[in-house]
Amino acid sequence: MRKKNPLENRMNLPQRFVCWLLLGFFFLIMFIPMWNVIVVSTSTILESSASGIKLWWKSFSVEGYEYVFRVTKLARPFLNSLFVSTVATVIQVVLSAFAGYVLIQRELPFKKSITSFIMLTMMIPGDLTLISVYQMNKQLHLLNSYTGLIVNGLISGFSILLMRNYFTSVPYSLAESARLDGASELRIFGQIYLPISKPGLATVFFLEFVGKWNSIMLPATLITDQDKYTMPLMLRAMILNDASQSGAAQTPNNAIMATIVISTVPLLLIYVFAQRFLLSGMTLGASKE
Protein backbone atom coordinates (compact mmCIF):
# COMPACT_ATOMS: atom_id res chain seq x y z
CA MET A 1 0.00 0.00 0.00
CA ARG A 2 1.40 3.40 -1.04
CA LYS A 3 2.31 5.66 1.85
CA LYS A 4 0.58 9.03 1.53
CA ASN A 5 2.80 12.07 1.30
CA PRO A 6 1.85 14.55 4.07
CA LEU A 7 2.41 17.40 1.60
CA GLU A 8 0.18 15.83 -1.06
CA ASN A 9 -2.87 17.77 -2.22
CA ARG A 10 -5.78 16.67 0.01
CA MET A 11 -8.62 18.57 -1.67
CA ASN A 12 -11.78 16.55 -1.99
CA LEU A 13 -13.90 16.40 -5.14
CA PRO A 14 -16.17 19.42 -4.38
CA GLN A 15 -13.14 21.58 -3.58
CA ARG A 16 -11.45 20.56 -6.82
CA PHE A 17 -14.63 21.32 -8.73
CA VAL A 18 -14.77 24.82 -7.23
CA CYS A 19 -11.10 25.42 -8.11
CA TRP A 20 -11.61 24.31 -11.70
CA LEU A 21 -14.75 26.42 -11.92
CA LEU A 22 -12.89 29.52 -10.75
CA LEU A 23 -9.98 28.83 -13.09
CA GLY A 24 -12.38 28.41 -15.98
CA PHE A 25 -14.12 31.66 -15.08
CA PHE A 26 -10.82 33.59 -14.94
CA PHE A 27 -9.75 32.02 -18.24
CA LEU A 28 -12.94 33.18 -19.96
CA ILE A 29 -12.52 36.71 -18.57
CA MET A 30 -9.06 36.91 -20.15
CA PHE A 31 -9.80 34.92 -23.32
CA ILE A 32 -13.09 36.44 -24.54
CA PRO A 33 -11.82 40.04 -25.00
CA MET A 34 -8.79 38.90 -27.01
CA TRP A 35 -10.85 36.47 -29.08
CA ASN A 36 -13.31 39.28 -29.82
CA VAL A 37 -10.38 41.40 -31.05
CA ILE A 38 -9.21 38.60 -33.37
CA VAL A 39 -12.69 38.00 -34.78
CA VAL A 40 -13.37 41.71 -35.38
CA SER A 41 -9.95 42.20 -36.99
CA THR A 42 -10.73 39.45 -39.52
CA SER A 43 -14.28 40.62 -40.29
CA THR A 44 -15.52 42.94 -42.99
CA ILE A 45 -15.77 46.68 -42.39
CA LEU A 46 -19.56 46.53 -42.21
CA GLU A 47 -19.64 43.64 -39.72
CA SER A 48 -16.90 45.13 -37.54
CA SER A 49 -18.85 48.38 -37.17
CA ALA A 50 -21.80 46.57 -35.56
CA SER A 51 -22.04 46.83 -31.79
CA GLY A 52 -21.69 43.92 -29.38
CA ILE A 53 -19.18 41.17 -28.69
CA LYS A 54 -18.36 38.94 -31.66
CA LEU A 55 -17.30 35.37 -30.93
CA TRP A 56 -17.50 34.00 -34.49
CA TRP A 57 -17.34 35.18 -38.06
CA LYS A 58 -20.23 35.80 -40.40
CA SER A 59 -17.70 36.21 -43.20
CA PHE A 60 -13.93 36.02 -42.88
CA SER A 61 -11.96 38.96 -44.29
CA VAL A 62 -8.49 40.49 -44.05
CA GLU A 63 -9.64 43.95 -45.08
CA GLY A 64 -8.55 45.37 -41.74
CA TYR A 65 -4.96 44.18 -42.15
CA GLU A 66 -4.85 45.41 -45.73
CA TYR A 67 -6.07 48.84 -44.55
CA VAL A 68 -3.43 48.95 -41.81
CA PHE A 69 -0.49 48.34 -44.14
CA ARG A 70 -1.88 50.32 -47.07
CA VAL A 71 -3.25 53.44 -45.35
CA THR A 72 -1.86 53.82 -41.82
CA LYS A 73 1.78 52.93 -42.66
CA LEU A 74 2.21 50.90 -39.48
CA ALA A 75 5.76 49.74 -40.26
CA ARG A 76 7.41 52.91 -38.89
CA PRO A 77 5.66 52.88 -35.47
CA PHE A 78 6.27 49.12 -35.22
CA LEU A 79 10.00 49.51 -35.85
CA ASN A 80 10.13 52.50 -33.48
CA SER A 81 8.59 50.44 -30.68
CA LEU A 82 10.83 47.47 -31.43
CA PHE A 83 13.99 49.58 -31.40
CA VAL A 84 13.15 51.62 -28.30
CA SER A 85 11.82 48.67 -26.27
CA THR A 86 14.73 46.36 -27.13
CA VAL A 87 17.53 48.85 -26.50
CA ALA A 88 15.97 50.23 -23.31
CA THR A 89 15.23 46.77 -21.94
CA VAL A 90 18.74 45.41 -22.61
CA ILE A 91 20.32 48.41 -20.87
CA GLN A 92 17.88 48.12 -17.98
CA VAL A 93 18.60 44.41 -17.49
CA VAL A 94 22.35 45.16 -17.33
CA LEU A 95 21.89 48.02 -14.85
CA SER A 96 19.47 45.98 -12.70
CA ALA A 97 21.91 43.08 -12.61
CA PHE A 98 24.81 45.33 -11.55
CA ALA A 99 22.67 47.02 -8.89
CA GLY A 100 21.37 43.68 -7.60
CA TYR A 101 24.92 42.36 -7.33
CA VAL A 102 26.02 45.41 -5.36
CA LEU A 103 23.11 44.99 -2.92
CA ILE A 104 24.15 41.44 -1.95
CA GLN A 105 27.64 42.45 -0.86
CA ARG A 106 28.05 41.89 2.87
CA GLU A 107 30.46 44.80 3.26
CA LEU A 108 28.09 47.33 1.65
CA PRO A 109 27.35 50.13 4.16
CA PHE A 110 23.73 51.20 4.73
CA LYS A 111 22.54 48.20 2.74
CA LYS A 112 19.15 48.03 4.46
CA SER A 113 18.60 51.77 4.06
CA ILE A 114 19.41 51.61 0.35
CA THR A 115 17.03 48.68 -0.12
CA SER A 116 14.29 50.52 1.76
CA PHE A 117 14.80 53.60 -0.41
CA ILE A 118 14.49 51.49 -3.56
CA MET A 119 11.24 50.04 -2.24
CA LEU A 120 10.03 53.56 -1.48
CA THR A 121 10.50 54.60 -5.10
CA MET A 122 8.16 51.78 -6.14
CA MET A 123 5.33 53.36 -4.15
CA ILE A 124 5.34 56.62 -6.14
CA PRO A 125 2.94 56.48 -9.13
CA GLY A 126 4.71 57.30 -12.35
CA ASP A 127 1.85 59.54 -13.53
CA LEU A 128 2.59 62.00 -10.74
CA THR A 129 6.05 62.69 -12.15
CA LEU A 130 5.07 63.27 -15.79
CA ILE A 131 5.14 67.08 -15.53
CA SER A 132 8.61 67.11 -13.97
CA VAL A 133 9.78 64.49 -16.48
CA TYR A 134 8.56 66.66 -19.35
CA GLN A 135 10.28 69.77 -17.97
CA MET A 136 13.57 67.94 -17.42
CA ASN A 137 13.55 66.39 -20.90
CA LYS A 138 12.70 69.75 -22.42
CA GLN A 139 15.71 71.35 -20.74
CA LEU A 140 17.93 68.48 -21.89
CA HIS A 141 16.56 68.73 -25.47
CA LEU A 142 15.31 65.15 -25.42
CA LEU A 143 11.77 65.80 -26.64
CA ASN A 144 10.84 64.04 -29.89
CA SER A 145 13.92 61.84 -29.75
CA TYR A 146 14.61 58.14 -29.41
CA THR A 147 17.13 58.96 -26.69
CA GLY A 148 14.39 60.47 -24.54
CA LEU A 149 12.25 57.35 -24.88
CA ILE A 150 15.20 55.08 -24.05
CA VAL A 151 16.79 57.00 -21.18
CA ASN A 152 13.62 57.71 -19.24
CA GLY A 153 12.68 54.72 -17.13
CA LEU A 154 15.99 52.86 -17.38
CA ILE A 155 16.03 52.27 -13.62
CA SER A 156 13.35 50.05 -12.08
CA GLY A 157 13.22 49.36 -8.37
CA PHE A 158 11.26 46.16 -8.97
CA SER A 159 13.86 44.80 -11.40
CA ILE A 160 16.74 45.68 -9.07
CA LEU A 161 15.12 43.93 -6.10
CA LEU A 162 14.18 40.92 -8.21
CA MET A 163 17.80 40.51 -9.36
CA ARG A 164 19.05 41.07 -5.82
CA ASN A 165 16.71 38.36 -4.52
CA TYR A 166 17.81 36.01 -7.27
CA PHE A 167 21.49 36.62 -6.61
CA THR A 168 20.99 35.72 -2.95
CA SER A 169 20.16 32.17 -4.08
CA VAL A 170 23.71 31.80 -5.42
CA PRO A 171 25.98 30.31 -2.71
CA TYR A 172 28.18 33.09 -1.37
CA SER A 173 31.03 30.57 -0.96
CA LEU A 174 31.44 30.51 -4.75
CA ALA A 175 32.32 34.19 -4.79
CA GLU A 176 34.62 33.84 -1.78
CA SER A 177 36.49 30.96 -3.42
CA ALA A 178 36.90 32.98 -6.61
CA ARG A 179 38.24 35.96 -4.64
CA LEU A 180 40.81 33.72 -2.97
CA ASP A 181 41.92 32.61 -6.42
CA GLY A 182 42.44 36.25 -7.40
CA ALA A 183 39.32 36.79 -9.51
CA SER A 184 38.09 40.35 -9.86
CA GLU A 185 34.54 41.40 -8.91
CA LEU A 186 33.67 41.91 -12.56
CA ARG A 187 34.82 38.39 -13.40
CA ILE A 188 32.88 36.92 -10.46
CA PHE A 189 29.80 38.80 -11.59
CA GLY A 190 30.11 37.80 -15.24
CA GLN A 191 31.26 34.19 -14.90
CA ILE A 192 29.51 33.03 -11.73
CA TYR A 193 26.40 35.07 -10.98
CA LEU A 194 25.10 35.85 -14.46
CA PRO A 195 25.20 32.27 -15.85
CA ILE A 196 23.43 30.90 -12.78
CA SER A 197 20.84 33.68 -12.83
CA LYS A 198 19.53 33.28 -16.39
CA PRO A 199 15.91 32.73 -15.21
CA GLY A 200 16.03 36.00 -13.26
CA LEU A 201 17.51 37.88 -16.22
CA ALA A 202 14.89 36.45 -18.57
CA THR A 203 12.11 37.41 -16.15
CA VAL A 204 13.34 41.00 -15.89
CA PHE A 205 13.76 41.24 -19.66
CA PHE A 206 10.28 39.93 -20.38
CA LEU A 207 8.47 42.07 -17.80
CA GLU A 208 10.33 45.25 -18.70
CA PHE A 209 9.97 44.69 -22.45
CA VAL A 210 6.22 44.22 -22.08
CA GLY A 211 5.99 47.38 -19.97
CA LYS A 212 7.99 49.47 -22.43
CA TRP A 213 6.22 48.07 -25.49
CA ASN A 214 2.80 48.89 -24.01
CA SER A 215 3.83 52.24 -22.50
CA ILE A 216 1.72 55.16 -23.67
CA MET A 217 1.97 57.84 -20.97
CA LEU A 218 5.70 58.53 -21.39
CA PRO A 219 5.70 58.54 -25.22
CA ALA A 220 2.58 60.73 -25.22
CA THR A 221 4.40 63.16 -22.92
CA LEU A 222 7.63 63.33 -24.92
CA ILE A 223 6.64 62.67 -28.54
CA THR A 224 4.63 64.86 -30.90
CA ASP A 225 6.48 64.05 -34.14
CA GLN A 226 4.54 61.33 -35.98
CA ASP A 227 7.78 59.88 -37.37
CA LYS A 228 8.73 58.99 -33.77
CA TYR A 229 5.35 57.46 -32.89
CA THR A 230 5.38 54.09 -31.13
CA MET A 231 2.66 51.46 -31.52
CA PRO A 232 0.54 52.66 -28.55
CA LEU A 233 0.68 56.23 -29.85
CA MET A 234 -0.36 55.14 -33.34
CA LEU A 235 -3.20 53.08 -31.89
CA ARG A 236 -4.34 56.06 -29.82
CA ALA A 237 -4.28 58.26 -32.92
CA MET A 238 -6.36 55.70 -34.81
CA ILE A 239 -8.93 55.49 -32.03
CA LEU A 240 -9.18 59.22 -31.45
CA ASN A 241 -8.92 59.79 -35.19
CA ASP A 242 -7.79 63.37 -35.01
CA ALA A 243 -7.68 63.47 -38.80
CA SER A 244 -11.46 62.97 -38.96
CA GLN A 245 -11.92 66.51 -37.67
CA SER A 246 -10.74 67.80 -41.04
CA GLY A 247 -13.24 65.68 -42.93
CA ALA A 248 -11.13 62.55 -43.49
CA ALA A 249 -12.77 59.14 -43.19
CA GLN A 250 -12.64 57.44 -39.82
CA THR A 251 -10.47 54.38 -39.30
CA PRO A 252 -12.65 51.24 -39.50
CA ASN A 253 -12.97 49.05 -36.42
CA ASN A 254 -11.42 46.00 -38.06
CA ALA A 255 -8.28 48.03 -38.84
CA ILE A 256 -8.03 49.19 -35.21
CA MET A 257 -8.39 45.61 -33.98
CA ALA A 258 -5.86 44.42 -36.57
CA THR A 259 -3.39 46.94 -35.17
CA ILE A 260 -3.94 45.53 -31.68
CA VAL A 261 -3.31 41.98 -32.93
CA ILE A 262 -0.13 43.02 -34.74
CA SER A 263 1.14 44.83 -31.64
CA THR A 264 0.83 41.63 -29.57
CA VAL A 265 2.94 39.49 -31.92
CA PRO A 266 6.39 40.47 -30.46
CA LEU A 267 5.11 39.87 -26.93
CA LEU A 268 3.87 36.39 -27.84
CA LEU A 269 7.17 35.52 -29.54
CA ILE A 270 9.19 36.65 -26.54
CA TYR A 271 6.93 34.68 -24.21
CA VAL A 272 7.44 31.50 -26.26
CA PHE A 273 11.22 31.74 -25.81
CA ALA A 274 11.17 33.00 -22.20
CA GLN A 275 8.38 30.94 -20.65
CA ARG A 276 10.66 28.20 -19.33
CA PHE A 277 12.57 30.80 -17.30
CA LEU A 278 9.63 32.94 -16.16
CA LEU A 279 8.06 30.67 -13.55
CA SER A 280 11.27 29.91 -11.66
CA GLY A 281 12.50 33.48 -11.97
CA MET A 282 9.29 35.13 -10.70
CA THR A 283 8.75 32.54 -7.96
CA LEU A 284 12.25 32.89 -6.50
CA GLY A 285 12.21 36.64 -6.89
CA ALA A 286 8.99 36.84 -4.90
CA SER A 287 9.92 34.39 -2.15
CA LYS A 288 13.47 35.21 -1.16
CA GLU A 289 14.14 37.69 1.62
Cα–Cα distance, 22 to 86 (Å, whole number): 36
Per-residue pLDDT at 88: 93
Alpha carbon 92 to its chain centroid, in Å, reads 12
Q: Where are the alpha helices (DSSP H) in 215-252?
A: 217-222, 231-240
Cβ(210)–Cβ(268) under 8 Å? Answer: no
Per-residue pLDDT at 74: 84
Q: What is the mean pLDDT of each run of 10 residues along the chain (289 residues)?
A: 53 84 91 89 82 82 84 86 93 92 86 87 80 89 90 87 86 83 85 84 88 89 89 85 54 85 86 70 49
Which H/E stretch holds residue 16? helix 13-41
Q: What is the 3-state secondary structure (H, E, C) of 62-110?
A: CHHHHHHHHHHCCHHHHHHHHHHHHHHHHHHHHHHHHHHHHHCCCCCCC
Domains present along the chain, CATH in parentheses: 13-61 (no CATH), 66-287 (1.10.3720.10)
Per-residue pLDDT at 174: 83
Per-residue pLDDT at 44: 84
pTM attached to this predicted model: 0.81
Terminal Cα-to-Cα distance of the chain (whole angstroms): 40
Per-residue pLDDT at 79: 92
